[in-house]
Structure 1
């Protein structure tokens, strides 16, 4: 499609001639607000993982792009996302993670909702002692549900409600990893951690897309999974990343490793892949474990990375599992100074978005093209 903004047109040129998104897209609150609708709201974004609410009644309030949301596992065991507000006066319903034993009760006027979102009680709404009123139709005043879908345990949401079905929008990614469409089990408390990064969320995605930085930023990882062992992955319009031909399994003192996922192709015996699924989810798959990283932007210059590790069986060796989490945490922490350094660099007025290596930066440029297209479409519709 034709892009009216010449800066965005430069982003969409072939990789060898293109430049990246300009500084304002990383520093300007107005751009951050625009991206909320253009990059997050229009399509499917990652909010959390279903393992965040493992039991019936578990409720987790999440502020996502300044929107108060509530992740909850209902009495029917389904995981849903609602706006975390009462339909009466817009009061926040749940302030802290907790288990809902009965109904979700608004602390303001005690309107109550089921864990499936229905409005079930409106005390004194018709006057003292009268809990109903002919002009208050409870059936139309349930919690506002946010369209959601669960894939690879990630709870994906579509804020606009207008995106194609998830299976359609993400068809190529789902197909690529179809072999891994089997049970995976969250490793528990020692398989989740959160990293705070003083950088724009896009820089975290861009860094994760490519293997170019491995020799200098991850020398330990590069010692056995070398730069030359990696290949680029580009799935225009939805994801990009990298794969490796060399994956080294962790082993305990007896030589045992994690159990493998079932019936995998031989390519996974020594290989692994890592995808940034746009806009804000970073995924990794290996023969014996996987992970999901959900990015939650907290403004133009700050991002939280919520990391979760999964295994093929519900029971795994405690020591090995903790060692795996510690190893990945070390790798992901090594990236923080890069993201934060690029963020500070975006304050330099002469920087025009930078250039891309045609050989090494294709996945990163793929993400920039996607972002530029979405922003252009948003501006034309708006």
Structure 2
């Protein structure tokens, strides 16, 4: 199909009259490619966490929407993101996570790069034994750096380089959670959850935005943080999600709990909030820990979801961390039925994008509107460039 012809006008109607995004936005490879550029590359998208490269010299290759990238912690302890390709013939530089002891060496012709991206060595480039050539200017042939920003250990990238600064784009959300702008500590190997889901990435965000499904999909969670204990959080064009007035701290057998983040206001004694740094980073904040979920859109109908748990102190009980990870894993796994079931449902030819409950689906409707707006801007830019 001609994916640029999908009609998004009904998404922008008032919620009581609106439809969701058309089926093609969940099952058509052409639309998925359109979203890659208009939604992910033009905005600040979540890539990984800095805890993936904890030590100086650590390097981790990742593929993001088909683009080979390399996350490196350089000699100055800065986390940087480069395209994982040699500037000579485009060879992949690093195949597996590893420590860079000296330089990043291309396995093809041995061009070498410093961890800050500088091209430092070009052996035999001018002929046998001649390591320089007038046509090869090292100063202009460093690794291609991808614009990046780190917030609370999450590495965000703006592939196109066109987005406003991260602090400007997310100013409202950062202000809302200003109390959590402090060091956080990854719980380690036992604080990471990964799920490979047969669904489009948007369905995971939609499900995260709302609490409407709690009584039926999360009966355990709903037993103490009920549907009626939740509230909507809506900021048009910026973010949306949900919060709860009843956050229950997990306790060890001896009654101990995780240490609280210091200096939080009284609101957080019992509250928790769950919002999305659009498009693909879902964050939950509570008094004693934060979780971050990164969505990696592998294909139109496949998404890898990785959750990381963070704490206020580097020293926490291993037993308590394990219990917390297990508790959240149960919740995340319970959602698989919903997000994969909706994905299969998008192959129903008569489905018109669905309707929204004006009382319960406000955050989800705002997410649909944001995606539609990104796509429309992309179409306008493409049409202008073609003139």
TM-score by length of 1: 0.98
Unaligned runs of 5+ in 2: 383-387
Report Cα offsets for 1:222-276 as digits up to 9, x if no partner: 0000000000111222321100000000111111100000110101000000012
C-alpha separation between the residues in 1 aligned to 2:192 and 2:58? 17
Report Cα offsets for 1:275-327 as digits up to 9, x if no partner: 12210010000000001000000000000011100000000011001100011
Matching residue of 2:35:
35
Unaligned runs of 5+ in 1: none
Contact 2:6 2:22 in 1 (8 A): no
Contact 1:5 1:376 in 2 (8 A): no
C-alpha separation between the residues in 1 aligned to 2:98 and 2:300? 30
Displaced runs of 4+ in structure 1, greater than 3 A? none
C-alpha separation between the residues in 2 aligned to 1:100 and 1:257? 39
Report Cα offsets for 1:171-220 as digits up to 9, x if no partner: 00100000000111000010012111000000000000000000000000
After TM superposition, the structure 1 stretch with the greater mean CA deviation from structure 2, 183-192 or 234-243, is 234-243
- Deviation for aligned residue 1:152: 1.7
Matching residue of 1:179:
179
C-alpha separation between the residues in 2 aligned to 1:110 and 1:180? 45
C-alpha separation between the residues in 2 aligned to 1:137 and 1:143? 13
Contact 1:240 1:277 in 2 (8 A): no
Matching residue of 1:314:
314
C-alpha separation between the residues in 2 aligned to 1:90 and 1:148? 22
C-alpha separation between the residues in 1 aligned to 2:34 and 2:279? 14
Matching residue of 1:374:
374
Matching residue of 1:46:
46
Matching residue of 2:265:
265
Contact 2:198 2:302 in 1 (8 A): yes
Matching residue of 2:232:
232
C-alpha separation between the residues in 2 aligned to 1:178 and 1:188? 25
Q: Does the residue aligned with 2:263 lie in a helix, a strand or coil?
A: coil
Q: Does the residue aligned with 1:37 lie in a helix, a strand or coil?
A: helix
Matching residue of 2:197:
197
> Measured at CA, do residues 5 and 14 of structure 1 come closer, stay the same or move farther in structure 2, by a change above 3 Å?
farther
Matching residue of 2:385:
none
- Deviation for aligned residue 1:136: 0.2
Q: What is the root-mean-square deviation in Å for CA atoms of aligned residues?
A: 0.9
- Work out whether 1:67 is the aligned partner of 2:62: no
C-alpha separation between the residues in 2 aligned to 1:276 and 1:11? 19
Q: Does the residue aligned with 2:208 lie in a helix, a strand or coil?
A: helix
Q: Does the residue aligned with 2:215 lie in a helix, a strand or coil?
A: helix
- Work out whether 1:362 is the aligned partner of 2:362: yes
Matching residue of 2:103:
103
- Deviation for aligned residue 1:6: 7.6
- Deviation for aligned residue 1:5: 6.5
